[in-house]
């Protein structure tokens, strides 16, 4: 029913739009329903005509009537990496793929893209106003999502936490909404033109958001987010310089001749030059209640992942040994997540061996992922589990040996709690020596969940591997207090179903690096 109403609205709007083409000259010109921009080399941007109309924006207390007075064209897809590269000559994305959405782009980068594409085409290409975005997302619907209220239906329309395999997907693979727009829910967050601020109290026409601010609006959720964050009304924000791998955008093109067409672009200040300031070597997250978490920066680089055939105690799941490039620096927790930290974020402590500075144990992969989600929301940063490659890279800290400190098993007790010295229990984090990059307990104490599904390694060199696209168990690394040295090796791997818990299984987190602000 929502669909039929939507299409009725569409027809009415197209009829209304006829008058806009050349006001006063009497010539009736129907706006084409689709606009195609040629970027050269076979790369095009397709946009759909969005009718003028009214809708209820927001939800609950902040809901208010918005009139969109002019039709406009909106990108049918998120801007892809091929499109971005065709216009900008670069591709900053972390998850490379020509038809993947471009990501790791700041609001400033997105505005620059619009400016360049406007110059190239002579059209007014711009970011959507937040109101235009929600209007287009709803496509006539009044429900939680463009298709209704049921979370269960979201997978038909969106790549989000439950079906994305925690990675990006090419644009346009799911169902479009009633107005033909793809991935409005999920895949990549989309920058809107507006500064973030409170909504107006009453009905408004063509709102542009506050005149100034510190944060720009983001909409729609991403592959990293759960259903609630992908709602039509859900608002997010971030600093305009922030480049995170879950942030992208789509463009709109103003209808030629419409009087308000140029306004939003004029309202956008010139992008600030990207600061080349150094990324700080350490980071501290405030978890509330006086509890903090220390993280250290890990440089981008290359390493040999897995073990050589000659390594003592090797299992064949550790091969083939292959070269891995970690293309971006990232922050990693200096210690395993402690029980105090877990409780500050989750409000519970499931551990078998209680102690505020003990690592949290008896947590499933799902719970570890939930912790990351909650801490991401709390800190507005991308907190996540390390990929298996990031974990081993951080554990090795430049070493190529059995352990981070060399091959001699006799020295393991200096760095790790394991079967020979643990007294059959875990110990507070950070009591043994750290590795060369300052990380404690990478060997032993508790096993650490990694983001990846468990599976066989690739045969050749890879960049930023994420593990298999699907699987039945998640990767565990580093060994625990009950394990022998052999199990605690840098290349050692184990796995467990994502719902299982063990009193020797915990985790540590990483935070993606985003460009520093001005």
Give the x/- contact pattern for Ca ion in 208-227, rule: CB under 5 A: ------------x-------
Residue ranges of the alpha helices (H) in 210-326?
A: 263-267
Least Å distance between CB 70 and Ca ion?
Answer: 23
Beta-carbon contacts of 369 under 8 Å, excluding residues fewer than 6 positions away, are 385, 498
- Name which of 9 and 220 has its Cβ closer to Ca ion: 220
Least gap, CB of 360 to Ca ion (angstroms): 12
Nearer of residues 172 and 220 to Ca ion, judged by Cβ: 220
CB-based contacts of 394, cutoff 8 Å, min separation 6: 298, 332, 386, 437, 439, 442
Contacts of 24 (CB under 8 A, 6+ apart): none
Smallest CA-to-CA distance from 65 within 168, 228, 201, 218 is with 201
For Ca ion, the closer of residues 52 and 230 by Cβ is 230
Binding flag, residue 478, Ca ion (CB under 5 A): yes
Per DSSP (E only), the strands in 117-233 are 125-126, 189-195, 204-205, 216-219
Phi and psi torsions of 238, nearest 5°: -165, 160
Which of 112, 229, 409, 441 touches Ca ion by CB under 5 A?
A: 441
Minimum distance from residue 187 beta carbon to Ca ion (Å): 4
- d(C-alpha 396, C-alpha 390), whole Å: 10
Contact 311, 489 (CB under 8 A): yes
| One character per residue 135-164, x = contact with Ca ion (rule: CB under 5 A) | ------------------------------
DSSP 338-385: BHHHHHHHHS----SS--TTSBP-S--HHHHHHHHHHHHHHHTS-EEP
User: How many residues belong to the site for Ca ion (CB under 5 A)?
Assistant: 6
Give whichever of 80 and 445 is closer to Ca ion, judged by the CB atom. Answer: 445
One-character DSSP codes across 381-424: S-EEPPPHHHHHHHHHTT--SSBTTBS-GGGHHHH---TTTSTT
User: Which region, judged by CB under 5 A, interacts with Ca ion, from 116-124, 201-209, 365-373, 473-481?
Assistant: 473-481
Provide, rounded to whole angstroms, the least separation between the CB of residue 78 and Ca ion: 5
Shortest Cβ distance from residue 220 to Ca ion (Å)? 4
Q: For residue 485, state whether it binds Ca ion (rule: CB under 5 A).
A: no
Establish if 445 lies at the interface with Ca ion (CB under 5 A). Answer: yes
- The distance of closest approach from Cβ of residue 233 to Ca ion in the complex, given in angstroms and rounded to an integer, is 15
User: Is the Cβ of residue 220 or residue 430 nearer to Ca ion in the bound state?
Assistant: 220
- Considering beta carbons, is residue 220 or 485 the nearer one to Ca ion? 220
Q: How many Cβ atoms from other residues are within 10 Å of residue 370's Cβ?
A: 16
Of residues 180 and 458, the one with the C-beta less far from Ca ion = 180
- Least distance to Ca ion, CB of residue 25, Å: 39
User: Which range touches Ca ion (CB under 5 A), out of 173-181, 445-453, 454-462, 497-505?
Assistant: 445-453
Least distance from Ca ion to the Cβ atom of residue 365, Å: 15
Looking at the Cβ atoms of 258 and 386, the one nearer to Ca ion is: 386
Closest approach, Cβ 186 to Ca ion, in A, equals: 6
The closest of 60, 503, 516, 50 to 297, measured between CA atoms, is: 516
- Kindly indicate which of the ranges 15-23, 82-90, 419-427, 438-446 contains the residues binding Ca ion, using the contact rule CB under 5 A: 438-446
Q: Which is nearer to Ca ion, 369 or 487 (CB)?
A: 487
Instruction: Determine if 419 is a binding residue for Ca ion (CB under 5 A).
Output: no
Give, as one character, the DSSP assignment of residue 490. Answer: T
Least distance in angstroms from the C-beta of 397 to Ca ion: 14
Show the binding pattern over residues 244-283: x = contacts Ca ion (CB under 5 A), - = does not: ----------------------------------------
Q: How far is the CB of 210 from Ca ion (least distance, A)?
A: 23
Compare residues 409 and 441 and give the one whose CB is closer to Ca ion. Answer: 441
Pick from 374, 510, 505: nearest CA to 449: 505
First to last CA, the chain: 48
Q: What percent of the chain is helix, strand and coil (3-state, nearest 5)?
A: 20, 20, 55
165-204 residues in contact with Ca ion (CB under 5 A) are 183, 187
Position 335 contacts Ca ion (CB under 5 A) = no
Cβ contacts of residue 491 below 8 Å, gap of 6+?
305, 306, 307, 311, 314, 318, 392, 402
Q: Which residues bind Ca ion (CB under 5 A)?
A: 183, 187, 220, 441, 445, 478
């Amino acid at each position: 029913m929502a669909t039929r109403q939507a299409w009725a609205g569409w027809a009415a709007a197209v009829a209304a739009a006829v008058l806009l083409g050349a006001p006063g000259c009497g010539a009736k010109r129907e706006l084409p329903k689709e606009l195609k921009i040629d970027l050269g080399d076979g790369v095009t941007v397709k946009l759909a005509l969005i009718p003028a109309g009214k809708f209820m924006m927001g939800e609950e207390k902040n809901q208010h009537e918005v009139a969109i007075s002019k039709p406009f064209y909106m990108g049918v897809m998120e801007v892809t990496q091929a499109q971005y590269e065709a216009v900008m000559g670069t591709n900053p994305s972390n998850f490379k793929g020509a038809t993947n959405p471009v990501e790791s782009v700041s609001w400033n980068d997105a505005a620059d893209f619009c400016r360049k594409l406007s110059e190239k085409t002579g059209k007014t290409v711009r970011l959507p106003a937040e109101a235009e975005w929600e209007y287009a997302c709803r496509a006539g619907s009044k429900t939680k999502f463009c298709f209704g209220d049921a979370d269960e239906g979201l997978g038909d329309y969106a790549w989000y936490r439950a079906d994305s395999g925690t990675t990006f997907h090419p644009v346009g693979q799911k169902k479009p909404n009633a107005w033909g727009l793809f991935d409005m829910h999920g895949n990549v967050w989309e920058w809107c033109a507006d500064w973030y601020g409170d909504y107006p109290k009453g009905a408004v026409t063509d709102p542009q958001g506050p005149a100034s601010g510190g944060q720009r609006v983001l909409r729609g959720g991403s592959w990293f987010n759960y259903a609630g964050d992908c709602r039509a009304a859900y608002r997010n924000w971030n600093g305009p310089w922030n480049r995170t791998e879950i942030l992208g955008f789509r463009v709109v093109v103003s209808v030629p001749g419409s009087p308000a067409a140029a306004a939003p672009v004029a309202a956008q200040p010139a992008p600030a030059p990207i600061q080349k300031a150094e990324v700080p070597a350490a980071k501290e997250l405030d978890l509330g209640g006086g509890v903090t978490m220390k993280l250290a920066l890990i440089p981008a680089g290359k390493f040999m992942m897995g073990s050589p055939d000659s390594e003592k105690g090797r299992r064949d799941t550790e091969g083939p040994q292959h070269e891995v490039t970690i293309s971006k620096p990232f922050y990693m927790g200096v210690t395993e997540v402690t029980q105090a930290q877990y409780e500050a974020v989750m409000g519970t402590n499931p551990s078998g061996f209680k102690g505020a500075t003990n690592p949290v144990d008896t947590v499933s992969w799902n719970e570890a992922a939930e912790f990351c989600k909650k801490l991401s929301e709390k800190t507005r940063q991308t907190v996540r589990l390390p990929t298996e490659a990031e974990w081993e890279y951080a554990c090795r800290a430049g070493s190529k040996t059995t352990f981070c400190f060399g091959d001699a098993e006799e020295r393991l007790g200096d760095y790790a709690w394991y079967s020979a010295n643990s007294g059959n229990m875990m110990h507070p984090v950070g009591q043994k020596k750290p590795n060369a990059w300052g990380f404690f307990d990478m060997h032993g104490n508790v096993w650490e969940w990694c983001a990846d599904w468990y599976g066989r390694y690739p045969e050749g060199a890879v960049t930023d591997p994420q593990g298999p696209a699907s699987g039945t168990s998640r990767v565990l690394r580093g060994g625990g207090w009950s394990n022998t040295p052999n199990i605690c090796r840098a290349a050692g791997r184990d796995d467990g179903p994502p719902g299982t818990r063990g009193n020797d299984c915990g985790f540590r987190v990483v935070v993606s690096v985003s460009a520093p602000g001005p």
